[in-house]
Structure 1
Amino acid sequence: MKSSITHGVKILSTGSAVPHFSLNNQTISEIVQTSDEWISTRTGIKERRLLTGSHQSVIDLAILASRKALDKISMDPSQIDLIILATSSPNDLFGSASQIQFKIGAVNAVAFDLTAACSGFVLGIVTASQFIRSGTYCNILVIGADVLSKWVDWSDRSTCILFGDAAGAAILQSCSDIENSILNFQLNTDGYYSSHLSIPYQDNDKPHAFLNLHQGSFKYLYMNGREVYKFAVSQVPLSILKCLNSLNMSVNDINWLLLHQANERILNAVAEKLSISRDKIIANLSKYGNTSAASIPLALDEALQESKIVDNDIVVIAGFGAGLTWGTIIVRWKEFTLG
């Protein structure tokens, strides 16, 4: 029987991985009609990493990010109780988390995929937190990983300039309320606008002769950039304020703002609406582009490696994207310690 005591949650370790191949704006301008200046001024992106080769998949990046997170704290994979893989580009439509579980040797872990695109890592952290708070699991590996280069139409300059491939991972652990670092969260979905950002399924034109059954395939990624921008800039600040208010905290308490790395204009507009200095924005999309579910854990891991985030900093994390979904997590950062 599981304990009825509510537990705290701390982020014990992080890790990240990106492909070796880098595609800069100049090279993209040789593929579609665009330029480095056009891309940079509208998105803030200078280059992105792509997973090339026929035998590479999202699993390879997720495994590398996971092993880095485990190695930082010398944790044996058998100590992991649950693996949540947030991805919208699995290499198996039935899910990829179980393959990661096997390949990293997490023999005691339950594993499942979570599909929420660019909001996936935030939803993964929240889901993991609920399992820990209830006492169901103690150590949970949350991975955000996507290889949207496989789903981008490389003749469509409105989308091919934006996306890159990456993976990021975090290990969450049960702790006392005093050590608790996940202070609160706030989540939203509005499916009315789901068509603005999607990889839609399309039936073929010729049904099965006997069954009248249509079978098809998924199309390329589609995005209505103007509407997604309007949605993010209007809804993300409201989500952040609501989450802060629930904790009796204010914008002045924020040390770092870590948003999904979609577009530099969105990052700056959200910060401006909240009256937060741009110096407090954690951003790395100039190097990697929009890596979907990987963007937040990748940026978090880099910020920690650069010692930007220190003990007791308040970090506001917000994801937004397809669904349309969006959400906020308020974190009081705690230095890595084994429980």
Structure 2
Amino acid sequence: MTDMTEMSGRPVISATGLFTPEDSISNEELVASFNEYVRRYNQQHSDSIEAGEITALTESSVEFIEKASGIKARHVMAKQPVLDPDIMSPRWPQRSNDELSILAEIGVKAARQALERAGRKAEDVDAVLCAASNMERPYPAMAIEIQQALGIDGFGFDMNVACSSATFGIQTAADYIRAGNAKSVLVVSPEITSGHLNWRDRDSHFIFGDVATAVLVEDAALAPAEHWDILGTKLKTVFSNNIRNNFGFLNRAYPEEAEGADKLFVQEGRKVFKEVVPMVAQMIVEEAERLKIDPQSLRRLWLHQANAGMNRLIAHRVLGHEASEDESPTVLDSYGNTSSAGSIIAFHLHRADLQAEDTGLICSFGAGYSAGTVFVRKAG
């Protein structure tokens, strides 16, 4: 563990890690499952539908999903129960309190990859931040469980800023480095988003996927030769009910009950699109200018993977032209929306080809509303 009496430092990203579940659900598989559920529901309630008491459900289609989102597949931790029309939610055996929790398990896998890539050992790390939108429990903190599983002698805590959690975590870690309170911080984002998704809702059943990422933020003096300087970070929140999940111990209705529908993910998609896109684009441009960076000179944008249309429009407003796949890479098509992990997956998978001194942006946005920017430059 680092001696905290040393001078404050300059934060960099030393490495990242990624855990991807083995199972993936294609749009074709998802539509077949959903449409079977719709057929069963409409048949079961045929009399009420005919009497006008309830509305018949509408089937989904591959074309509808891809046009609405750009998503073609998503990884999940429990494929069979999600596709079962009688269940349509993830299921796995309940683990005892003495076993490593499933969220900590995938977080540890991503964290170990990041540590290995940076050539770090557990004793080199001072803190673990579990920054994610889908926590398995209120306490003990997931971060502390991950910390113990990795063998880190330091501290950890959870933070939840929905889809912006990872970028908020990176700024928090960077602030620890700048203040001299830590020299090496792991920001871990395990996202089992399949658990909060209403797989019976035609407008959202296709959105989310499961994954875990990790970002190692360190003092530049410790960083490996290949690292990314953190040029600046900016966070922003504006309250909105347009993306919401009401599940919690004060709201005891279960999602399976009619009155519990809002205990899962719900959103007003058109309102979110209309309000978030200009907010995020303006935030990026203003922060770039504050850092004396020409936004149109950014070599790459690693944007939150929420919706292909949102990313396309944000990138256009920032760069001043329609962004190419090289300028704004997409992982949404194969991973789906993975909440806070999305922009980190894009950064993890699409950065090796950049040259020294290339400048880019990691950006996330989501419920809250919340948005976070991390401007980075590849070290020379």
Q: For residue 218 of structure 1, report the CA deviation from its aligned partner.
A: 7.9
Given candidates 243, 255, 271, the residue that maps to 2:299 is 255
Corresponding position of 2:33: 31
Q: For residue 266 of structure 1, report the CA deviation from its aligned partner.
A: 0.7
Q: For residue 2 of structure 1, report the CA deviation from its aligned partner.
A: 5.3
* Mapping 1:1-339, distance limit 5 Å: 5-32=7-34, 33-52=59-78, 54-55=92-93, 57-94=102-139, 95-106=141-152, 108-175=153-220, 181-191=229-239, 193=240, 195-201=241-247, 203-204=251-252, 219-274=263-318, 275-276=320-321, 277-278=323-324, 279-304=326-351, 307-334=352-379
How far apart, in 2, do the equivalents of 1:48 and 1:129 lie?
Answer: 31
Question: Which shows bigger deviation, 223-232 or 160-169?
Answer: 223-232
Q: For residue 252 of structure 1, report the CA deviation from its aligned partner.
A: 2.8
How far apart, in 2, do the equivalents of 1:238 and 1:38 lie?
Answer: 30
The residue identity in structure 1 corresponding to 2:10 is G
Seen in structure 2, the aligned counterparts of structure 1 residues 159 and 240 have a Cα distance that, compared at 3 Å, is same
How far apart, in 2, do the equivalents of 1:228 and 1:6 lie?
Answer: 39
The residue identity in structure 2 corresponding to 1:44 is G
Q: For residue 17 of structure 1, report the CA deviation from its aligned partner.
A: 0.7
Is 2:234–2:372's contact at 8 Å kept on the other side of the alignment? yes
1:233 counterpart SS class = helix
Q: For residue 188 of structure 1, report the CA deviation from its aligned partner.
A: 0.9
Is 2:234–2:287's contact at 8 Å kept on the other side of the alignment? yes
Q: Normalising by structure 1, what TM-score? A: 0.88
RMSD: 2.3
How far apart, in 1, do the equivalents of 2:261 and 2:102 lie?
Answer: 19
Q: For residue 316 of structure 1, report the CA deviation from its aligned partner.
A: 1.1
Structure 1 residue runs of 5 or longer lacking an equivalent are: 206-215
How far apart, in 2, do the equivalents of 1:83 and 1:119 lie?
Answer: 17
1:280 counterpart SS class = coil
The residue identity in structure 2 corresponding to 1:234 is P
1:228-261: CA deviations, max 9, x gaps? 1112211111110111111111123200011100
The residue identity in structure 2 corresponding to 1:22 is S
How far apart, in 2, do the equivalents of 1:16 and 1:334 lie?
Answer: 22
How far apart, in 2, do the equivalents of 1:282 and 1:58 lie?
Answer: 27
Q: For residue 333 of structure 1, report the CA deviation from its aligned partner.
A: 2.0
How far apart, in 1, do the equivalents of 2:33 and 2:65 lie?
Answer: 13
The residue identity in structure 2 corresponding to 1:23 is I
How far apart, in 2, do the equivalents of 1:204 and 1:291 lie?
Answer: 26
How many pairs align?
Answer: 320
How far apart, in 2, do the equivalents of 1:222 and 1:140 lie?
Answer: 33
Corresponding position of 2:52: none
Is 1:45–1:287's contact at 8 Å kept on the other side of the alignment? yes
Higher share in strand: 1
Q: For residue 153 of structure 1, report the CA deviation from its aligned partner.
A: 1.1
The residue identity in structure 2 corresponding to 1:243 is E
Seen in structure 2, the aligned counterparts of structure 1 residues 116 and 8 have a Cα distance that, compared at 3 Å, is same
1:267-302: CA deviations, max 9, x gaps? 101112221432300211100000001112222111
1:112-139: CA deviations, max 9, x gaps? 1110111000100000000000111001
Is 1:260–1:295's contact at 8 Å kept on the other side of the alignment? yes
Moved over 6 A (4+): none
Is 1:186–1:242's contact at 8 Å kept on the other side of the alignment? no
Question: Which shows bigger deviation, 6-15 or 179-188?
Answer: 179-188
1:54-78: CA deviations, max 9, x gaps? 1472222211110111111231112
Is 2:344–2:362's contact at 8 Å kept on the other side of the alignment? no
How far apart, in 2, do the equivalents of 1:57 and 1:197 lie?
Answer: 26
The residue identity in structure 1 corresponding to 2:234 is Q
